[in-house]
Chain A
């Protein structure tokens, strides 16, 4: 029997293809056993009732925030993301999960897990990170942007007290991951920027238990917070949602520049990073934008950063747009290839040959992927076995 978390999770797994669905069900079964039978910590009040996840005053989840500045008149300025919300007493920031209480800023979502699941890392997607492995993946409510295409808007655009959640403190996160042979904890689904404190503590607990951490994020974060929080990650996937400020303003409710800055910072930190670009028909799919993006990546991050062009499925506030045509994704890849990027993938299109990893030198296939699983993995000692070309990534546990 699936627990409350599983029920939540079913809604936010993309029901794209049969492969997708099958691999999801397998995972659901595995993690259902994990979370249901062996019991995560006691669920918060209200779980399973369809009502809210306990009161907003549930003290277990409330921890002083790490990145903020105190101002006069009990106001604070949040220094977590580039919005820099100025928040008055008893008010919350844009993310909805941080609250000023008497001039002290608190996160309301520490250990407050509203979605948890065991996923293949290919689903994040991270293609150059332990292919074929699984990650204990979790999220809290909240997000610091509001993408009109969000697949998980029901958790990302909600306040924590509005959705069921369970109390899973950092130690327990590590235990569950270990118990179910996940070498990795993944912070994903909503927007991990806004649960940085929990992410940092869980990553520490994981590392003590020999478990790595990865994050799937929009990268819309201040540099100091990024260094502190994502410095604890073993790999990072950034959703670069477009290469235009106007798109970021209108479709994402954010800004492009700080995200580019984050990518450069991650590069300087030597953090393994992959980029996903969700292609929306008519909104961010011009040749110029693809070319500008590829040129920027090559110039600022180098040719070895994997770039995934993924297919959009109509969701949330953009149900009027069609699914991204596969030829559009192929055009994006062709442009980025021509600009000299070594690892350009097409995502969300099961069975497409551009899901595989090829050696940039001898062009032989090195990792074959079927759906969200790696069916063949030929890389040895971080290199192509055919021509010994080094292949960047974290290939071996």
Chain B
């Protein structure tokens, strides 16, 4: 991704080093810490949030289908760059304990065309199990089971398999969770089945919000997302991510940018999709969203489209999420350590 800021190999090595130092400092054991979420703490002096963009030009075979082996290798490469060392299983062990329940919040609103890639989810589940997490302690989920199926996931409830179902099967908590402008009932999958939450969104343009990547994917966790679309979803997206039930569980974002959409989202518009063949990985969802937004802007420029700002739909919620009231991460390019591999 040559056009990306700080894109040179030399920069990468420097940032890699800096990032590793950061993660050690904030996390303790190894590079990543499992005991608590280690999203960047923007207040810390010298702290940078690492965002990895891992890319494989050969991710797809000749039939343009994603290759599962290369997907796993791409995930490993991304995680190694995030952690700053080379042992995939070790990396995952620092993120989750074998006794923990882990949930993968995917995004399946775009149907088969533009949803979280099933092979990416399979690769994550494989590494989680190798790290000692029981298959049945892993849940792959979204709002609706039918939408999961339409996106290519096989539903599974009960038994020893990796679990996969929508909130429609278990419902929402009756009590409200509230922060700022947001008052919502949370999916019981989040509150009852997610010791650790791994966010696995898709890189998408969004006609209302500007973009929908990591932060906005949490709209799929609540019972009333339709209430939070006015004003470009600002400050709703940021406020929603402040809910302790979400924030305390959120440990990692792995954004699927194998196929992404730069215009006409969030629905599937094949004419506006591109095969970015990439994953974006970070523990700072704000830094990841900022990075993903810039990727979409570059693609728009390449296609001769106006910027989201010019279209009056820049994703302002990203800056809100970074402000002093929220501190969910950083959107300051100077404090994002961008690593391309």
Contacts and interface: CB of A to CB of B under 8 A. Distances in A.
Contacts of A154: 174
A96 B183 contact: no
Interface string A150-175: 00011001110110000000000000
A89 B168 contact: no
Which of A55, A88, A159: most chain B Cβ within 10 A? A88
A342 interface: no
Contacts of B154: none
B323 interface: no
Given A89-B267, A158-B224, A317-B183, A94 B171 contact: no
A246 interface: no
B227 A146 contact: yes
B144 interface: yes
Interface in A58-113: 73, 83, 86, 88-96
A94 B230 contact: yes
A107 to B, nearest CB: 14
B227 A157 contact: yes
Contact of A316 (B183, B223, B264): B183
Given A56-B144, A161-B168, A92 B224 contact: no
B267 A91 contact: yes
Contacts of A159: 223-224, 226
Interface in B199-250: 207, 223-224, 226-227, 229-230
A338 interface: no
Given A316-B176, A317-B178, A317-B183, A157 B267 contact: no
A162 B226 contact: no
Nearest to B183: A317
A96 B224 contact: yes
Contacts of B267: 88-91
A283 interface: no
B223 A162 contact: yes
Interface string B130-162: 000000000000001010000000000000000
A300 interface: no
Contact of B109 (A73, A90, A157, A316): A90
A51 interface: yes
B223 A88 contact: no
B317 interface: no
Interface string A35-56: 0000000000000001110011
B171 A52 contact: yes
A283 to B, nearest CB: 16
Contacts of A89: 267
A177 B292 CA distance: 57
Given A159-B223, A162-B171, A94 B229 contact: yes
Nearest to A318: B183
A88 B207 contact: yes
Which of A90, A154, A316: most chain B Cβ within 10 A? A90
Contacts of A90: 109, 111, 267
Contacts of A91: 266-267
A90 B226 CA distance: 13
B172 interface: yes
B16 to A, nearest CB: 40
Contacts of A162: 171-172, 223
A58 to B, nearest CB: 12
B272 to A, nearest CB: 11
A157 B184 CA distance: 9
A14 interface: no
Given A146-B224, A159-B224, 12 more contacts: A51-B171, A55-B168, A56-B168, A88-B207, A90-B109, A91-B266, A91-B267, A94-B229, A95-B226, A158-B223, A161-B168, A316-B183
Interface of A: 50-52, 55-57, 73, 83, 86, 88-96, 146, 148, 153-154, 157-159, 161-162, 253, 316-317
> Which 7 residue pairs are nearest across A and B when measured between Cβ atoms?
A96-B226, A317-B183, A157-B224, A146-B227, A88-B267, A92-B226, A89-B267
28 contacts: A51-B171, A52-B168, A52-B171, A56-B144, A73-B269, A88-B207, A88-B266, A89-B267, A91-B266, A91-B267, A94-B227, A94-B229, A94-B230, A96-B224, A96-B226, A96-B227, A157-B223, A157-B224, A157-B227, A161-B168, A162-B171, A162-B172, A162-B223, A253-B227, A316-B176, A316-B183, A317-B178, A317-B183
